[in-house]
Amino acid sequence: MSTDVWRKAWVLVGKDLALEWRTRESFLVMLLFGAIVGAILGLAFELRAGGAGEVAPGALWVALAFAGVLGLGRSMAREEEDGCLEGLMLAPVDASCVYLAKVAANALSMLGVGLVLLPLFSAFFGVNLLRPGLLVVLLLGAAGLSGVGTLLSTMVAHMRGREALLPVLLLPTVVPLVIGAVRATAGMASGQSLSAVATWLRLMAVFDLVLGAAACLLYAWVTEG
């Protein structure tokens, strides 16, 4: 039974990734948007503070969170077209299985964007963000953003003004995740090891697990007709 769930979820993830690979529409938009946020923040802080290096971890996570909101919105808008989500719900899979698949697909695209933004932000802000430990931070951050974001974006998908509602609901909720991510990133940028920032990684993991489990349980209620 449980291996069956994973297999089905994997098929759904494959569907999303194949769709994204063929069109590349949301990945490129997310990437460009993340780069724009980085450029704007870099300019703003460079002009005011003289040294942009200290704000680099914060800027990175602001850019990733905003790009994530954009990606989540587009991914659900795609499911809304031609009743794709209804089709998914009629398929013989649990809502939680659809949820897990959407979370994985959304998190993977956020992770991809993060991987490209790391060298870019290193250059923009004059810091070294190219450290292997940051992969763990990116992974935990993408999982948390996608875990809550997938639930909320599915919910607002057929509402008026969904583009505005998603960030207004999602961003305050992910404040603890962003705090953890910024602290862990800042620690690693200054050369600390993974164990030195373990507190923040644990915080992110707790966020991912608690809110992910809640969102998984609640997903059936937001997809009901």
Partner 1 sequence: MTCRDRKPEALIGLSALAMELAIVAALVHAPTERVMGPVQRIFYFHVPAAAMAFVAFGVTFGASVAYLAAGHPVWDAVACAAAEIGELLAALVLLTGMLWAHAAWNTWWTWDPRLTTMLVLWLIYAGYLLIRRSVEDEARRARYAAVVGIIGFADVPIVVMSIRWWRTIHPAVFDEQGVHMESRMLVALLVSLVAFAFLFVSLLVARVRLSELRDEVESLRRSVL
Binding of partner 1 at residue 30 (CB under 8 A)? no
Residue 6: what residue type?
Answer: W
Binding of partner 1 at residue 84 (CB under 8 A)? no
Least Cβ distance, residue 180 to partner 1 (angstroms):
6
Binding of partner 1 at residue 18 (CB under 8 A)? no
Positive or negative CA dihedral for 141, 163, 37, 118?
positive
Least Cβ distance, residue 117 to partner 1 (angstroms):
23
Binding pattern to partner 1, positions 164-203, x when CB under 8 A?
A: -x--xx-xxx-xx--xx--x---------------xx--x
Least Cβ distance, residue 213 to partner 1 (angstroms):
9
Cα distance between residue 164 and residue 81, in whole Å:
19
Helices (H), 24-49: 25-49
Alpha carbon distances (Å) from 132 to 54, 118, 189, 192, 195: 20, 11, 11, 12, 13
Binding of partner 1 at residue 76 (CB under 8 A)? no
Q: Residues 101, 16: contact at Cβ < 8 Å? A: yes
Residue 75 corresponds to which tokens in the numbers above?
């991914």
Least Cβ distance, residue 22 to partner 1 (angstroms):
32
Least Cβ distance, residue 155 to partner 1 (angstroms):
5
- Residues 6 or more apart whose CB falls under 8 angstroms from that of 154 comprise 76, 79, 85, 102, 219, 222, 223
| Residue closer to partner 1, measured from CB, 31 or 142 | 142
- Residues 6 or more apart whose CB falls under 8 angstroms from that of 196 comprise 187
Binding of partner 1 at residue 62 (CB under 8 A)? no
Find, among 21, 5, 22, the residue nearest to 98 by Cα.
Answer: 5
| Residue closer to partner 1, measured from CB, 113 or 145 | 145
Residue 56 corresponds to which tokens in the numbers above?
């680099």
Binding of partner 1 at residue 50 (CB under 8 A)? no
Binding site for partner 1 (CB under 8 A): 148, 151-152, 155-156, 159-161, 165, 168-169, 171-173, 175-176, 179-180, 183, 199-200, 203, 206-207, 210-211, 214-215, 218, 221-222, 224
